[in-house]
Structure 1
Amino acid sequence: MDMQRDAQQPKTDTDLFAFLDSLGIAHTTKEHAPVFTVAESVALRDEIPGGHTKNLFVKDKKDNYFLLTVEENATVDLKTVHGIIGAAGRVSFGKPEKLMEYLGVIPGAVTAFGAINDTGLNVKVIIDEDLMGYEVINAHPLRNDATTSIASNDLLRFIAATGHEPLVLKVTA
């Protein structure tokens, strides 16, 4: 086991904001009570405009990992999405341990911003085409008691700056 990797603490929201600032990316963050589900976060809609995200951390049978970031009310067909994202066969949800290891977040705080923690580029980051229709995208800043708003094109710039190729694909029904 790689002890150096184990010792590496996941980046925090403070690290994330500093990284966004270093890229010249405008962002605003609103603190709120922790939310674990889309249903719990609906109360925030009036206060935070833009597209709100739902994130699916999935893997295929060859242990390739994918993060699908979609609009919160969108539906992803897990039986067929593998054909769109280039997975080896059907996908299933990744385990919380891998979520923490690769993206540095817990279930309920999954976010495209987790790409900042995936220094080994173990996860393919996919943004749904429909979500890109929003000028502003809202996502957790590595914790689920705040929401960070960022321009949709800046989200792609952020993902690219982490070394990932942001793939914009139509993954929702």
Structure 2
Amino acid sequence: MPLPPLTPEELFGRLDSLGIAHRTYSHPPVFTVAEATMLRGSLPGGHCKSLFLKDKKGGFWLAVMLEERRIDLKKLAGRLTAPRFSFGGAADLYEVLGVRPGSVTPFALVNDVEHLVTPLLDAAMLERDPLNYHPLANDRTTAIASADLLRFIAACGHVPRIIDLAGFEREPAAAH
């Protein structure tokens, strides 16, 4: 990320320049799905989360999915023929996508000008409209159409891998 990362306002300008309709809601900063669930009220659409992942060979991935998904990273890496996944660290997250933990979003692909990240999108998520993501900061939520998410990602120069993540969910923890 050789340039300073975009601000949310600059992101909105980019969406406008692409003709992508968007609506943003302000709220206190949230860091977890549970916090977001409590604050969003009746905000319509698919509520999503994004996981910044790093594979064993140093490759970066951005897995974007419906918030209720609980993914088994080992199974997912095997399906993608990627070396073992782990969560990317805060320093890599900021260096590559220009956002801090709690603000991970597909909109951050705009900051990945070197195209170091492979976007991985949940097929079921793309069936929802609108889709809700943080606009580079976790004190707001921006809703866009799923088709517009794909247009935005393409405009950033990325080609997402769309996969049915239903088969890669973790088994529920056993009760003790």
- Is TM-score (shorter-chain normalized) higher than 0.5? yes
Match of 1:49 in 2: 44
The aligned counterpart of 2:11 is 16
Q: Look up the match of 2:62.
A: 67
Instruction: Report deviation, 1:83.
Output: 2.5
- Root-mean-square deviation over aligned CA pairs: 1.3
Structure 2 stretches lacking a partner, 5+ long: 170-176
Structure 1 counterpart SS, 2:74: coil
Task: Give the structure 2 partner of residue 112 of structure 1.
Answer: 106
Structure 2 counterparts to residues 153-172 of structure 1, below 5 A: 153-172=147-166
* TM-superposed deviation, 1:54: 1.1
Q: Is residue 121 from structure 1 mapped to residue 121 from structure 2 by the alignment? A: no
Distance in 2 (CA, whole Å) between partners of 1:47 and 1:116 is 29
Give the residue type in structure 2 aligned to 1:139. Y
Measure the CA separation in 2 of the matches of 1:35 and 1:148.
14
Q: 1:86 to 1:114 in 2, by over 3 A?
A: farther
Distance 1:101 1:21 in 2: 26
Question: Are 1:137 and 2:131 an aligned pair?
Answer: yes
Say which of 60, 70, 91 aligns to 2:85: 91
1:171 Cα deviation from its structure 2 partner: 2.6
Partner Cα separation in structure 2 for residue 84 and residue 119 of structure 1: 27
Once residues 162 and 86 of structure 1 are traced to their aligned partners in structure 2, the CA distance between those partners, rounded to angstroms, is 25
When normalised by structure 2's length, the TM-score is 0.91
What residue identity is the alignment partner of 1:98? Answer: D
SS class of match (1:80):
helix
**Unmatched 5+ stretches in structure 1:** none
Are 1:84 and 1:171, in contact at CA under 8 Å, matched by a contact in 2?
A: no
Distance 1:166 1:92 in 2: 19
Aligned mates of 2:80, 2:13 — CA distance in 1: 31
Does the CA-based 8 Å contact 1:80-1:90 persist in structure 2? Answer: no
State the TM-score, normalizing by the size of structure 1.
Answer: 0.92
Show the counterpart of 2:26: 31
* CA distance in structure 2 between the aligned counterparts of 1:23 and 1:86, rounded to whole angstroms: 34
8 A Cα contact 1:53 1:70, kept in partner: yes
Alignment: residue pair count: 167
Q: Is the 8 Å Cα contact of residues 53 and 71 (structure 1) preserved in structure 2?
A: yes
Q: In 2, are the aligned partners of 1:12 and 1:142 still within 8 Å (CA)?
A: yes
Give 1:132 shift. 1.0
Paired-residue identity, %:
49
2:115 maps to a residue whose letter is: L
SS in 2 for 1:24: coil
Partner residue in 1 for 2:174: none
Give yes or no for contact 1:66–1:125 (8 Å, CA) kept in 2.
Answer: yes
